[in-house]
Structure 1
Amino acid sequence: MSGATIDVEALAAASRRRKARERFLTHLALILGVAVFALPIWITLVGSTHDTDTIGRGEVPLLPGGEALRNYTRAWSEGGGGRNTFAVPAGTMLLNSFIMAMLIAVGKIAISLLSAFAVVFFAFPFRMVFFWMIFITLMLPVEVRIIPTFQVMTDLSLIDTMTGLTLPLIASATATLLFRQFFLTIPDEYVEAAKVDGAGPLRFFKDVVLPLSATNIAALFVILFIYGWNQYLWPLLMVSNRDLETIIVGLTKMIGIGDTQNEWNLIMTTAVFALLPPVAVVVLMQRWFIKGLTETEK
């Protein structure tokens, strides 16, 4: 009996050691992964607190410096990045990017909700033909249709306008498809109950469909806001007026000259500004984002 007891205890101890080793390896992998992603961000944060000469000498400080207030104030109100460039204040670029991202996200959700609602709950000729026409546009990336789209914006005199910057990016086949698939799961009893109560299509949409779609809308908003915020090619093509410049395009223009003229501390400061809005959206809407991706009950 004592031998059996010793064997059981040895097996339990071996099992504990194996689990401890597995936990250690798992946490080590997670820490290494976080370090790989976090180290460049930390260097950017630290670099934004040093002066131009420190970064210009090729030094990579790992501890914050004493120029943070000056750098952030100057980048926000004056801009920077190159002594021979026409600097755009980071505050202006942030506002432009925020307006563009909000218009794209809200516009995509509004149009996709209405188009998916029409396809699912209305019976009209060629309904599925129109849906598949929308769906097929998923096969055409922005780069393929950017020249004809630019020509249309030129003909409508929308170059160098916020409308031209956002309107072509508002239509979304992806969001339409996702909302359609969600609307198909809404029980038919809800539709019949609305008809019995005398509710019209708009009231059914407002009182039933929208509340059920709240978490999906929140999840899509996070994705679409970041999509709009990270736009580079279309704003670069559409905007030559520096007053409408977005922060993603502005960052690339800051480093588009010789290394000796780059003010890397201000570039890093502007990069920190560019990080804040999407991070804030993800953090503030994290709970809704997760629920929108995982919740299936109606």
Structure 2
Amino acid sequence: MVGINRRSRYIAHAILILGILVVAFPIFYTFVASTQSLQTILRPPLPLLPGDRFWDNYTTAIFGGIGRIGGVGVDTLLFNTTVVALGIAIGKIVISILSAFAIVFFRFPFRMFFFWAIFITLMLPVEVRIMPTYKVMVDLGLIDTYTGLTLPLMASATATLLFRQFFLTIPGELVEAARVDGAGPWRFFKDILLPLSRTNIAALFVIMFIYGWTQYLWPLLVTNRNDMNTIVIALRKMVSFADADTEWHLVMVTCMLAIAPPVLVVLLMQRWFVRGLVETEK
């Protein structure tokens, strides 16, 4: 029995290591390409070891600017994308937790109607909503602005539903105890609900940050200036149909820099993220 368990453990670890290699090899290959010269990349096969152009390539991409996107540096692209990702993540959480708080703990006319109106928006395809939303952004003069990039993507029916379901598990005795203690709605929300919701907030923040970081269609519509592009849009612009016209070494640098922030967020918030997804006892 011990031998069988040990063999099963070895097989499981071997499969896990194989899966990690399959996932990690393209990322490693991209990193290797980001340290090579353009001539080396265009002349296959590409070496499997990093080259000697790491500092030159990364310095050029970050501070020198990239010709195909109007000489904008990756530092500007990273700043734009960070603003968009943080704005969407924080905005979604704030709007969703406040709307769920109002729906669960307040009694007002058409309360469930408003909840189902929010929920039904999940059934509307993005293509149905995107043109009217774009028209509103144009009328308000929000094209090529951070507000135009983030505001239409802040509302989230999914996050509202998740917070509502969690708030419904709050014991009624806790609400009554807070009321007897003289806690008003804002104090109850700030001192009781927010601390209890921190793991849910952390999990949603990670998901929404990655959602905002990888946005393509909406930033493509509402940005015309190169210096307002997100890093995903810039990557598409950097790639030409002809290999000789594409600065592949800078493309690979941009890819590596685009991967780093979401990975860093996941690593830093991994414990809270997992707890927020699997924790059942509050």
1:210 is matched with: 194
1:73 is matched with: 59
Matching of residue 127 in structure 1 with residue 127 in structure 2: no
Q: CA deviation at 1:89?
A: 0.6
Q: CA deviation at 1:241?
A: 1.1
1:3 is matched with: none
1:109-148 aligned at under 5 Å gives the runs 109-148=93-132
Contact 2:68 2:238 in 1 (8 A): no
Moved more, 153-162 or 98-107: 153-162
Contact 1:79 1:266 in 2 (8 A): no
Matching of residue 224 in structure 1 with residue 208 in structure 2: yes
Q: Which residue, out of 113, 119, 135, partners 1:151?
A: 135
Segments of structure 1 that go 5 or more residues without pairing to the other structure are 1-14
1:259 is matched with: 243
1:68-107 aligned at under 5 Å gives the runs 68-80=54-66, 86-107=70-91
Contact 1:50 1:265 in 2 (8 A): yes
Given the superposition, is the C-alpha separation of residues 176 and 84 from structure 1 closer, same or farther in structure 2, using an over 3 Å criterion? closer
Q: Percent identity?
A: 62
Question: Greater CA radius of gyration, 1 or 2?
Answer: 1
Read off the aligned partner of 2:38 and give its amino acid letter. Answer: T
1:7 is matched with: none
Q: CA deviation at 1:58?
A: 2.8
Contact 1:52 1:263 in 2 (8 A): yes
Q: Which whole-Å CA distance do the structure 2 matches of 1:95 and 1:85 have between them? A: 15
Q: Which string of whole-angstrom CA distances, capped at 9 and with x for unpartnered residues, describes residues 115-163 of structure 1?
A: 0000000011111110000001111232321111111111111111110
Q: Which whole-Å CA distance do the structure 1 matches of 2:101 and 2:110 have between them? A: 15
2:170 is matched with: 186
Q: Which residue, out of 43, 49, 72, partners 1:63?
A: 49
TM-score (norm 1): 0.91
2:31 is matched with: 45
Q: Which whole-Å CA distance do the structure 1 matches of 2:199 and 2:4 have between them? A: 41
Contact 1:88 1:250 in 2 (8 A): no
Read off the aligned partner of 1:87 and give its amino acid letter. Answer: G
Aligned-residue Cα RMSD (Å) equals 1.4
Q: Which whole-Å CA distance do the structure 1 matches of 2:197 and 2:160 have between them? A: 13
1:169 is matched with: 153
